[in-house]
Chains A and B, each alone.
Chain A
Amino acid sequence: MGKVVIKVDRLGVRFLMSSEKVDNLKEFVIKKIKHQMNYKQFWALRDVSFSVEQGDRVGILGLNGAGKSTLLKVIAGVMKATEGNASTKGRIAPLLELGAGFDLQYTGAENIYLYGAVLGYSKDFIKEKFNEIVEFSELGDFINVPVKNYSSGMKSRLGFSIATIVEPDILILDEVFAVGDAKFRKKSEKKIKSMFKTGVTVLFVSHNIEQVKTICNKAILLEKGTLIAQGEVNDVCDIYEMKIK
Protein backbone atom coordinates (compact mmCIF):
# COMPACT_ATOMS: atom_id res chain seq x y z
CA MET A 1 0.00 0.00 0.00
CA GLY A 2 1.16 3.49 -0.69
CA LYS A 3 2.27 6.08 1.80
CA VAL A 4 -0.51 8.09 3.40
CA VAL A 5 -0.21 11.74 2.38
CA ILE A 6 -3.48 13.14 3.69
CA LYS A 7 -5.02 11.97 6.93
CA VAL A 8 -8.28 13.47 8.09
CA ASP A 9 -9.19 12.35 11.57
CA ARG A 10 -12.62 13.08 13.09
CA LEU A 11 -12.57 16.52 11.61
CA GLY A 12 -15.13 19.06 12.71
CA VAL A 13 -15.50 22.68 11.71
CA ARG A 14 -17.98 24.87 13.51
CA PHE A 15 -18.98 28.40 12.56
CA LEU A 16 -20.54 30.86 14.92
CA MET A 17 -23.13 32.95 13.16
CA SER A 18 -24.37 36.04 14.92
CA SER A 19 -27.90 37.01 14.02
CA GLU A 20 -26.71 40.39 12.82
CA LYS A 21 -23.35 41.10 11.33
CA VAL A 22 -21.41 43.33 13.69
CA ASP A 23 -18.44 44.84 11.97
CA ASN A 24 -17.86 48.20 13.52
CA LEU A 25 -16.64 49.28 16.92
CA LYS A 26 -19.73 51.21 18.02
CA GLU A 27 -22.16 48.33 17.49
CA PHE A 28 -19.72 45.88 19.02
CA VAL A 29 -19.38 47.83 22.24
CA ILE A 30 -23.10 48.56 22.52
CA LYS A 31 -24.08 44.97 21.86
CA LYS A 32 -21.51 43.59 24.29
CA ILE A 33 -22.69 45.89 27.04
CA LYS A 34 -26.32 45.05 26.41
CA HIS A 35 -25.47 41.32 26.28
CA GLN A 36 -27.06 41.11 22.89
CA MET A 37 -24.31 39.12 21.19
CA ASN A 38 -26.12 35.90 20.32
CA TYR A 39 -24.45 33.22 18.30
CA LYS A 40 -25.92 30.26 16.52
CA GLN A 41 -23.72 27.27 15.96
CA PHE A 42 -23.34 25.76 12.53
CA TRP A 43 -21.29 22.64 11.99
CA ALA A 44 -20.00 22.73 8.42
CA LEU A 45 -18.18 19.42 8.97
CA ARG A 46 -18.65 16.86 11.70
CA ASP A 47 -16.67 13.72 12.49
CA VAL A 48 -15.13 13.34 9.03
CA SER A 49 -12.39 10.73 8.74
CA PHE A 50 -10.61 9.36 5.70
CA SER A 51 -7.10 8.97 4.39
CA VAL A 52 -5.49 9.44 1.00
CA GLU A 53 -2.46 7.57 -0.28
CA GLN A 54 0.22 8.93 -2.52
CA GLY A 55 -0.81 8.88 -6.15
CA ASP A 56 -4.54 8.66 -5.42
CA ARG A 57 -6.85 10.90 -7.33
CA VAL A 58 -9.79 11.48 -5.03
CA GLY A 59 -13.03 13.02 -6.20
CA ILE A 60 -14.91 15.00 -3.57
CA LEU A 61 -18.61 14.92 -4.26
CA GLY A 62 -21.61 16.45 -2.59
CA LEU A 63 -24.40 18.90 -3.11
CA ASN A 64 -23.91 22.61 -2.47
CA GLY A 65 -23.44 23.27 1.20
CA ALA A 66 -22.19 19.76 1.90
CA GLY A 67 -18.91 21.07 3.24
CA LYS A 68 -16.58 20.39 0.29
CA SER A 69 -14.95 23.83 0.21
CA THR A 70 -14.57 23.88 3.97
CA LEU A 71 -12.89 20.48 3.84
CA LEU A 72 -10.47 21.69 1.18
CA LYS A 73 -9.72 24.84 3.15
CA VAL A 74 -8.78 22.83 6.23
CA ILE A 75 -6.63 20.45 4.19
CA ALA A 76 -4.90 23.38 2.49
CA GLY A 77 -4.13 24.86 5.90
CA VAL A 78 -6.18 27.95 5.29
CA MET A 79 -8.75 27.28 7.99
CA LYS A 80 -8.35 25.77 11.44
CA ALA A 81 -10.36 22.77 12.58
CA THR A 82 -12.64 23.10 15.58
CA GLU A 83 -12.18 19.45 16.47
CA GLY A 84 -10.09 16.61 15.12
CA ASN A 85 -7.42 17.41 12.60
CA ALA A 86 -6.22 17.05 9.04
CA SER A 87 -2.55 16.38 8.39
CA THR A 88 -0.75 16.42 5.08
CA LYS A 89 2.69 15.48 3.84
CA GLY A 90 4.37 17.54 1.18
CA ARG A 91 3.69 20.65 -0.87
CA ILE A 92 0.10 21.58 -1.54
CA ALA A 93 -0.86 23.53 -4.64
CA PRO A 94 -4.42 24.73 -4.79
CA LEU A 95 -5.55 25.84 -8.18
CA LEU A 96 -6.56 29.46 -7.82
CA GLU A 97 -9.78 29.64 -9.74
CA LEU A 98 -9.76 32.12 -12.56
CA GLY A 99 -6.53 33.35 -11.06
CA ALA A 100 -8.16 34.66 -7.92
CA GLY A 101 -4.69 35.04 -6.51
CA PHE A 102 -3.25 36.90 -9.44
CA ASP A 103 -2.55 40.56 -9.25
CA LEU A 104 -4.48 41.99 -12.16
CA GLN A 105 -2.06 44.84 -12.79
CA TYR A 106 0.83 42.46 -13.14
CA THR A 107 1.65 40.70 -16.41
CA GLY A 108 1.24 36.96 -16.85
CA ALA A 109 5.00 36.51 -16.52
CA GLU A 110 5.18 38.50 -13.29
CA ASN A 111 2.23 36.55 -11.94
CA ILE A 112 4.02 33.26 -12.60
CA TYR A 113 6.73 34.33 -10.16
CA LEU A 114 4.17 35.68 -7.70
CA TYR A 115 2.01 32.56 -7.70
CA GLY A 116 5.09 30.36 -7.47
CA ALA A 117 6.27 32.38 -4.49
CA VAL A 118 2.86 32.08 -2.86
CA LEU A 119 3.13 28.29 -3.17
CA GLY A 120 6.46 28.49 -1.37
CA TYR A 121 8.90 27.92 -4.22
CA SER A 122 12.23 29.67 -4.69
CA LYS A 123 13.06 32.11 -7.45
CA ASP A 124 15.54 29.74 -9.10
CA PHE A 125 13.07 26.90 -9.25
CA ILE A 126 10.44 29.07 -10.91
CA LYS A 127 12.99 30.40 -13.36
CA GLU A 128 13.78 26.83 -14.38
CA LYS A 129 10.16 26.00 -14.96
CA PHE A 130 9.22 29.31 -16.52
CA ASN A 131 9.40 28.37 -20.15
CA GLU A 132 7.58 25.11 -19.59
CA ILE A 133 4.75 26.98 -17.91
CA VAL A 134 4.44 29.53 -20.70
CA GLU A 135 4.46 26.81 -23.32
CA PHE A 136 1.83 24.72 -21.61
CA SER A 137 -0.49 27.67 -21.15
CA GLU A 138 -0.33 28.43 -24.89
CA LEU A 139 -0.45 32.13 -24.10
CA GLY A 140 2.47 33.06 -26.34
CA ASP A 141 3.16 36.79 -26.40
CA PHE A 142 0.19 37.47 -24.15
CA ILE A 143 2.38 36.40 -21.28
CA ASN A 144 3.68 39.96 -21.15
CA VAL A 145 0.26 41.54 -21.05
CA PRO A 146 -1.38 42.53 -17.72
CA VAL A 147 -3.68 39.78 -16.49
CA LYS A 148 -6.60 42.19 -16.24
CA ASN A 149 -6.76 42.02 -20.02
CA TYR A 150 -7.00 38.24 -20.10
CA SER A 151 -10.16 36.31 -20.85
CA SER A 152 -11.38 33.93 -18.15
CA GLY A 153 -10.10 31.01 -20.20
CA MET A 154 -6.64 32.52 -20.40
CA LYS A 155 -6.52 33.14 -16.66
CA SER A 156 -7.57 29.57 -16.02
CA ARG A 157 -4.96 28.17 -18.38
CA LEU A 158 -2.23 30.21 -16.75
CA GLY A 159 -3.33 29.16 -13.27
CA PHE A 160 -3.49 25.52 -14.24
CA SER A 161 -0.09 25.56 -15.91
CA ILE A 162 1.61 27.06 -12.90
CA ALA A 163 -0.10 24.78 -10.40
CA THR A 164 0.79 21.60 -12.27
CA ILE A 165 4.24 22.30 -13.60
CA VAL A 166 5.69 23.24 -10.23
CA GLU A 167 5.35 19.56 -9.31
CA PRO A 168 3.38 19.79 -6.09
CA ASP A 169 2.88 16.72 -3.94
CA ILE A 170 -0.81 17.41 -3.51
CA LEU A 171 -2.84 19.20 -6.17
CA ILE A 172 -6.22 20.61 -5.26
CA LEU A 173 -8.52 21.19 -8.18
CA ASP A 174 -11.64 23.20 -7.69
CA GLU A 175 -14.75 22.94 -9.86
CA VAL A 176 -13.69 25.75 -12.09
CA PHE A 177 -10.82 23.74 -13.49
CA ALA A 178 -13.36 22.74 -16.08
CA VAL A 179 -13.25 26.18 -17.70
CA GLY A 180 -11.35 26.33 -20.93
CA ASP A 181 -12.15 25.04 -24.37
CA ALA A 182 -12.47 21.35 -25.11
CA LYS A 183 -8.94 21.20 -26.48
CA PHE A 184 -7.38 22.60 -23.32
CA ARG A 185 -9.59 20.45 -21.13
CA LYS A 186 -8.32 17.34 -22.89
CA LYS A 187 -4.78 18.58 -22.50
CA SER A 188 -5.21 19.20 -18.78
CA GLU A 189 -6.81 15.83 -18.18
CA LYS A 190 -3.88 14.26 -19.97
CA LYS A 191 -1.47 16.26 -17.86
CA ILE A 192 -3.12 15.16 -14.63
CA LYS A 193 -3.05 11.54 -15.68
CA SER A 194 0.66 11.84 -16.45
CA MET A 195 1.22 13.25 -13.00
CA PHE A 196 0.17 9.97 -11.36
CA LYS A 197 3.39 8.43 -12.54
CA THR A 198 5.38 10.99 -10.59
CA GLY A 199 3.32 10.22 -7.51
CA VAL A 200 1.25 13.40 -7.35
CA THR A 201 -1.89 13.14 -5.27
CA VAL A 202 -4.96 14.96 -6.54
CA LEU A 203 -8.10 16.16 -4.80
CA PHE A 204 -10.80 17.05 -7.25
CA VAL A 205 -14.01 18.81 -6.32
CA SER A 206 -16.59 18.69 -9.04
CA HIS A 207 -20.24 18.31 -9.90
CA ASN A 208 -19.28 16.86 -13.26
CA ILE A 209 -19.55 13.12 -12.64
CA GLU A 210 -18.13 12.23 -16.04
CA GLN A 211 -14.96 14.16 -15.42
CA VAL A 212 -14.64 12.71 -11.92
CA LYS A 213 -14.93 9.18 -13.31
CA THR A 214 -12.27 9.96 -15.94
CA ILE A 215 -9.70 11.52 -13.69
CA CYS A 216 -10.18 9.88 -10.30
CA ASN A 217 -9.66 6.40 -8.93
CA LYS A 218 -11.31 7.01 -5.56
CA ALA A 219 -14.00 9.34 -4.27
CA ILE A 220 -15.74 10.52 -1.12
CA LEU A 221 -19.29 11.78 -0.77
CA LEU A 222 -20.27 14.50 1.70
CA GLU A 223 -23.75 15.38 2.80
CA LYS A 224 -24.51 18.25 5.18
CA GLY A 225 -21.06 18.03 6.71
CA THR A 226 -20.78 14.28 7.20
CA LEU A 227 -18.98 11.69 5.15
CA ILE A 228 -21.55 9.24 3.87
CA ALA A 229 -19.52 7.25 1.36
CA GLN A 230 -15.92 6.59 0.39
CA GLY A 231 -14.16 4.10 -1.82
CA GLU A 232 -13.76 3.29 -5.49
CA VAL A 233 -14.83 6.14 -7.73
CA ASN A 234 -17.50 4.29 -9.65
CA ASP A 235 -19.18 2.98 -6.51
CA VAL A 236 -19.30 6.37 -4.84
CA CYS A 237 -20.48 8.05 -8.04
CA ASP A 238 -23.35 5.58 -8.27
CA ILE A 239 -24.43 6.41 -4.72
CA TYR A 240 -24.21 10.11 -5.56
CA GLU A 241 -26.29 9.67 -8.69
CA MET A 242 -28.93 7.87 -6.69
CA LYS A 243 -28.98 10.73 -4.18
CA ILE A 244 -29.60 13.39 -6.77
CA LYS A 245 -32.45 11.57 -8.45
Chain B
Amino acid sequence: MKQIIKNFNKYKFLLSELVVKEIKLKYRRSYLGILWTLLEPLLTMLVLTMVFENFYGRKDNAFPIYVLTGRLLYAYFSNATKSAMKSIRTNGQMIKKVYVPKYIYPLSSILSQFVTFLISLIVLVGVAIVLKIRPTIYLLEAIVPLLILFVMVLGIGLILATLAVFFRDMEYLWGVILMLIMYCSAIFYDPTRVIKTGYGWILTCNPLYSVIVNFRNTVIYGIPLDRGALVYSSLFSVIALIIGIWMFYKKQDEFILNI
Protein backbone atom coordinates (compact mmCIF):
# COMPACT_ATOMS: atom_id res chain seq x y z
CA MET B 1 0.00 0.00 0.00
CA LYS B 2 2.81 2.36 0.95
CA GLN B 3 4.51 1.48 -2.30
CA ILE B 4 1.42 2.46 -4.25
CA ILE B 5 1.23 5.83 -2.51
CA LYS B 6 4.94 6.42 -3.04
CA ASN B 7 4.54 5.57 -6.69
CA PHE B 8 1.57 7.88 -7.01
CA ASN B 9 3.51 10.78 -5.54
CA LYS B 10 6.28 10.28 -8.04
CA TYR B 11 3.81 10.61 -10.90
CA LYS B 12 1.58 13.30 -9.42
CA PHE B 13 3.03 15.84 -11.78
CA LEU B 14 2.41 13.57 -14.73
CA LEU B 15 -1.24 13.24 -13.73
CA SER B 16 -1.68 17.00 -13.62
CA GLU B 17 0.22 17.41 -16.89
CA LEU B 18 -2.02 14.90 -18.65
CA VAL B 19 -5.20 16.51 -17.29
CA VAL B 20 -4.05 19.98 -18.33
CA LYS B 21 -2.97 18.72 -21.74
CA GLU B 22 -6.35 17.20 -22.55
CA ILE B 23 -8.14 20.37 -21.59
CA LYS B 24 -5.68 22.62 -23.42
CA LEU B 25 -5.73 20.61 -26.62
CA LYS B 26 -9.47 20.10 -26.62
CA TYR B 27 -10.07 23.61 -27.77
CA ARG B 28 -6.75 24.73 -29.14
CA ARG B 29 -7.70 24.61 -32.79
CA SER B 30 -11.33 25.65 -32.47
CA TYR B 31 -12.32 29.26 -32.88
CA LEU B 32 -14.33 29.82 -29.76
CA GLY B 33 -12.10 27.60 -27.65
CA ILE B 34 -13.14 27.06 -24.07
CA LEU B 35 -16.34 29.02 -24.67
CA TRP B 36 -17.79 25.88 -26.25
CA THR B 37 -17.82 24.20 -22.84
CA LEU B 38 -20.43 26.78 -21.87
CA LEU B 39 -22.22 27.19 -25.18
CA GLU B 40 -22.79 23.52 -25.93
CA PRO B 41 -24.95 22.70 -22.87
CA LEU B 42 -26.79 25.99 -23.26
CA LEU B 43 -27.66 25.33 -26.87
CA THR B 44 -28.60 21.72 -26.16
CA MET B 45 -30.86 22.88 -23.36
CA LEU B 46 -32.58 25.38 -25.66
CA VAL B 47 -33.16 22.76 -28.35
CA LEU B 48 -34.44 20.13 -25.90
CA THR B 49 -36.71 22.66 -24.20
CA MET B 50 -38.17 23.80 -27.49
CA VAL B 51 -38.74 20.25 -28.73
CA PHE B 52 -40.15 18.66 -25.61
CA GLU B 53 -42.07 21.60 -24.25
CA ASN B 54 -44.15 21.72 -27.36
CA PHE B 55 -44.32 17.95 -27.68
CA TYR B 56 -45.69 17.43 -24.21
CA GLY B 57 -47.51 20.72 -24.21
CA ARG B 58 -46.12 21.49 -20.82
CA LYS B 59 -45.56 24.94 -19.56
CA ASP B 60 -43.35 24.20 -16.61
CA ASN B 61 -41.20 27.12 -15.69
CA ALA B 62 -38.47 24.90 -14.35
CA PHE B 63 -38.35 22.63 -17.38
CA PRO B 64 -35.25 24.17 -18.97
CA ILE B 65 -33.22 23.70 -15.82
CA TYR B 66 -34.73 20.24 -15.36
CA VAL B 67 -33.45 19.30 -18.77
CA LEU B 68 -30.12 21.03 -18.27
CA THR B 69 -29.25 19.24 -15.03
CA GLY B 70 -30.04 15.85 -16.54
CA ARG B 71 -28.15 16.68 -19.69
CA LEU B 72 -25.01 17.95 -17.92
CA LEU B 73 -24.71 14.90 -15.68
CA TYR B 74 -25.38 12.51 -18.55
CA ALA B 75 -22.85 14.28 -20.77
CA TYR B 76 -20.16 13.92 -18.12
CA PHE B 77 -21.01 10.25 -17.63
CA SER B 78 -20.93 9.59 -21.36
CA ASN B 79 -17.80 11.57 -22.23
CA ALA B 80 -15.75 10.43 -19.26
CA THR B 81 -16.51 6.73 -19.67
CA LYS B 82 -15.80 6.93 -23.41
CA SER B 83 -12.46 8.68 -22.98
CA ALA B 84 -11.41 6.38 -20.12
CA MET B 85 -12.25 3.41 -22.33
CA LYS B 86 -9.96 4.65 -25.10
CA SER B 87 -7.21 5.87 -22.80
CA ILE B 88 -4.99 2.81 -22.92
CA ARG B 89 -5.08 2.52 -26.70
CA THR B 90 -4.54 6.24 -27.19
CA ASN B 91 -1.42 6.18 -25.05
CA GLY B 92 -0.17 2.90 -26.49
CA GLN B 93 3.13 4.32 -27.77
CA MET B 94 4.05 5.66 -24.37
CA ILE B 95 3.04 2.49 -22.56
CA LYS B 96 5.31 0.45 -24.78
CA LYS B 97 8.34 2.54 -24.00
CA VAL B 98 8.33 3.99 -20.50
CA TYR B 99 7.03 2.64 -17.23
CA VAL B 100 4.19 4.70 -15.87
CA PRO B 101 1.57 3.31 -13.47
CA LYS B 102 -1.09 2.52 -16.02
CA TYR B 103 -4.09 3.61 -14.00
CA ILE B 104 -2.84 7.18 -14.53
CA TYR B 105 -4.20 7.11 -18.08
CA PRO B 106 -7.90 6.43 -17.43
CA LEU B 107 -7.71 8.51 -14.24
CA SER B 108 -6.35 11.54 -16.08
CA SER B 109 -9.03 11.43 -18.78
CA ILE B 110 -11.80 11.14 -16.20
CA LEU B 111 -10.34 14.02 -14.20
CA SER B 112 -10.02 16.27 -17.22
CA GLN B 113 -13.60 15.54 -18.21
CA PHE B 114 -14.63 16.32 -14.64
CA VAL B 115 -12.91 19.69 -14.79
CA THR B 116 -14.70 20.47 -18.06
CA PHE B 117 -17.94 19.40 -16.41
CA LEU B 118 -17.36 21.71 -13.46
CA ILE B 119 -16.78 24.60 -15.86
CA SER B 120 -20.04 23.81 -17.63
CA LEU B 121 -21.85 24.17 -14.29
CA ILE B 122 -21.44 27.91 -14.81
CA VAL B 123 -24.24 27.63 -17.34
CA LEU B 124 -26.38 26.00 -14.68
CA VAL B 125 -25.81 28.90 -12.33
CA GLY B 126 -26.70 31.35 -15.09
CA VAL B 127 -29.93 29.55 -16.00
CA ALA B 128 -30.90 29.20 -12.32
CA ILE B 129 -30.54 32.94 -11.84
CA VAL B 130 -32.61 33.69 -14.95
CA LEU B 131 -35.37 31.30 -13.88
CA LYS B 132 -35.27 32.72 -10.34
CA ILE B 133 -34.54 29.37 -8.68
CA ARG B 134 -33.97 29.99 -5.00
CA PRO B 135 -31.06 28.11 -3.41
CA THR B 136 -31.80 26.47 -0.07
CA ILE B 137 -29.43 25.02 2.50
CA TYR B 138 -29.72 21.69 0.72
CA LEU B 139 -27.74 23.09 -2.17
CA LEU B 140 -24.62 22.16 -0.21
CA GLU B 141 -25.68 18.53 -0.39
CA ALA B 142 -25.41 18.71 -4.17
CA ILE B 143 -21.76 17.73 -3.76
CA VAL B 144 -22.81 14.24 -2.71
CA PRO B 145 -24.37 13.06 -5.99
CA LEU B 146 -21.42 14.62 -7.83
CA LEU B 147 -18.93 12.65 -5.78
CA ILE B 148 -20.94 9.48 -6.25
CA LEU B 149 -21.00 10.14 -9.99
CA PHE B 150 -17.23 10.60 -10.02
CA VAL B 151 -16.66 7.28 -8.28
CA MET B 152 -19.18 5.57 -10.56
CA VAL B 153 -17.47 6.89 -13.67
CA LEU B 154 -14.06 5.87 -12.33
CA GLY B 155 -15.23 2.32 -11.66
CA ILE B 156 -16.99 1.90 -14.98
CA GLY B 157 -14.13 3.66 -16.75
CA LEU B 158 -11.58 1.18 -15.39
CA ILE B 159 -13.75 -1.78 -16.38
CA LEU B 160 -14.22 -0.40 -19.90
CA ALA B 161 -10.56 0.54 -20.25
CA THR B 162 -9.55 -3.04 -19.44
CA LEU B 163 -12.13 -4.61 -21.75
CA ALA B 164 -11.42 -2.26 -24.64
CA VAL B 165 -7.78 -3.34 -24.76
CA PHE B 166 -8.78 -6.92 -25.52
CA PHE B 167 -12.00 -6.37 -27.41
CA ARG B 168 -12.00 -3.68 -30.05
CA ASP B 169 -15.76 -3.70 -30.52
CA MET B 170 -16.30 -2.66 -26.92
CA GLU B 171 -16.42 0.94 -28.09
CA TYR B 172 -19.42 0.32 -30.30
CA LEU B 173 -21.17 -1.79 -27.72
CA TRP B 174 -20.74 0.89 -25.08
CA GLY B 175 -22.05 3.51 -27.50
CA VAL B 176 -25.30 1.58 -27.77
CA ILE B 177 -25.53 1.06 -24.02
CA LEU B 178 -24.99 4.78 -23.48
CA MET B 179 -27.90 5.53 -25.77
CA LEU B 180 -30.08 3.16 -23.79
CA ILE B 181 -29.03 4.84 -20.55
CA MET B 182 -29.83 8.24 -22.02
CA TYR B 183 -33.42 7.28 -22.74
CA CYS B 184 -33.83 5.66 -19.35
CA SER B 185 -32.62 8.57 -17.26
CA ALA B 186 -35.60 10.92 -17.44
CA ILE B 187 -33.46 13.71 -18.82
CA PHE B 188 -36.07 15.33 -20.99
CA TYR B 189 -39.28 13.79 -19.77
CA ASP B 190 -41.21 13.58 -16.53
CA PRO B 191 -40.74 10.21 -14.81
CA THR B 192 -44.27 10.11 -13.41
CA ARG B 193 -45.69 9.22 -16.82
CA VAL B 194 -43.29 6.29 -17.13
CA ILE B 195 -43.93 5.08 -13.59
CA LYS B 196 -47.68 5.06 -14.28
CA THR B 197 -47.25 2.64 -17.16
CA GLY B 198 -45.50 0.19 -14.84
CA TYR B 199 -42.00 0.59 -16.27
CA GLY B 200 -40.80 2.68 -13.37
CA TRP B 201 -38.48 -0.11 -12.26
CA ILE B 202 -36.22 0.65 -15.21
CA LEU B 203 -35.63 4.09 -13.80
CA THR B 204 -34.97 2.86 -10.29
CA CYS B 205 -32.50 0.31 -11.63
CA ASN B 206 -30.53 3.02 -13.41
CA PRO B 207 -27.91 4.38 -11.00
CA LEU B 208 -27.41 7.47 -13.14
CA TYR B 209 -31.10 8.26 -12.69
CA SER B 210 -30.62 8.13 -8.89
CA VAL B 211 -27.75 10.60 -9.18
CA ILE B 212 -29.79 12.91 -11.39
CA VAL B 213 -32.77 12.78 -9.01
CA ASN B 214 -30.60 13.71 -6.06
CA PHE B 215 -28.85 16.48 -7.92
CA ARG B 216 -32.16 17.95 -9.03
CA ASN B 217 -33.60 17.68 -5.52
CA THR B 218 -30.84 19.75 -4.00
CA VAL B 219 -30.34 22.23 -6.80
CA ILE B 220 -33.76 22.91 -8.28
CA TYR B 221 -36.34 21.88 -5.72
CA GLY B 222 -34.37 22.70 -2.58
CA ILE B 223 -35.28 19.48 -0.78
CA PRO B 224 -32.99 16.94 0.91
CA LEU B 225 -31.43 13.95 -0.86
CA ASP B 226 -33.60 10.93 -1.54
CA ARG B 227 -32.41 8.18 0.81
CA GLY B 228 -33.14 5.27 -1.46
CA ALA B 229 -31.51 6.84 -4.47
CA LEU B 230 -28.54 7.81 -2.35
CA VAL B 231 -27.94 4.34 -0.99
CA TYR B 232 -28.46 2.63 -4.33
CA SER B 233 -26.18 4.90 -6.32
CA SER B 234 -23.38 4.90 -3.73
CA LEU B 235 -23.49 1.13 -3.39
CA PHE B 236 -23.44 0.72 -7.15
CA SER B 237 -20.53 3.14 -7.50
CA VAL B 238 -18.41 1.54 -4.80
CA ILE B 239 -18.98 -1.95 -6.22
CA ALA B 240 -18.18 -0.69 -9.72
CA LEU B 241 -14.98 0.85 -8.40
CA ILE B 242 -13.91 -2.33 -6.64
CA ILE B 243 -14.60 -4.45 -9.72
CA GLY B 244 -12.86 -1.89 -11.94
CA ILE B 245 -9.72 -1.76 -9.80
CA TRP B 246 -9.58 -5.53 -9.53
CA MET B 247 -10.01 -6.13 -13.28
CA PHE B 248 -7.54 -3.42 -14.22
CA TYR B 249 -4.96 -4.60 -11.75
CA LYS B 250 -5.23 -8.21 -12.86
CA LYS B 251 -4.99 -7.55 -16.56
CA GLN B 252 -2.68 -4.57 -16.79
CA ASP B 253 0.46 -6.61 -17.40
CA GLU B 254 -1.14 -8.01 -20.53
CA PHE B 255 -2.04 -4.65 -22.01
CA ILE B 256 1.28 -4.21 -23.75
CA LEU B 257 0.73 -7.45 -25.64
CA ASN B 258 -2.49 -6.20 -27.16
CA ILE B 259 -1.90 -2.63 -28.19
Contacts and interface: CB of A to CB of B under 8 A. Distances in A.
Given A15-B257, A101-B98, A25 B170 contact: yes
Interface in B106-156: none
B99 A100 contact: no
Contacts of A139: none
Nearest to A93: B98
Contacts of A78: 95-99, 256
B253 interface: yes
A120 B14 contact: yes
B197 interface: no
A92 B99 contact: yes
Given A78-B95, A119-B98, A24 B169 contact: yes
Given A78-B99, A105-B25, A122 B13 contact: yes
Interface of B: 10-11, 13-14, 17-18, 21, 25, 28, 93-100, 166-170, 173, 253, 256-258
Contacts of A243: none
Contact of B93 (A24, A101, A123): A101
Contacts of B173: 25
Contact of A23 (B25, B94, B258): B258
Interface centre among B10, B11, B98 (most CB of A within 10 A): B98
3 closest A-B pairs by beta carbon, nearest first, are A77-B99, A117-B14, A24-B169
Interface string A87-124: 00000101010001101011000100110011111110
A26 interface: yes
Interface string A62-106: 000000000001001111100000000000101010001101011
Given A103-B21, A118-B14, A23 B168 contact: yes
Contact of B167 (A24, A77, A110, A123): A24
A94 B167 contact: no
10 contacts: A23-B166, A26-B169, A76-B97, A78-B96, A103-B25, A105-B25, A113-B17, A114-B17, A117-B18, A121-B13
A78 B100 CA distance: 8
A77 B97 CA distance: 9
Nearest to A122: B13
B167 to A, nearest CB: 5
A77 B256 CA distance: 11
Interface string A14-25: 010000000111
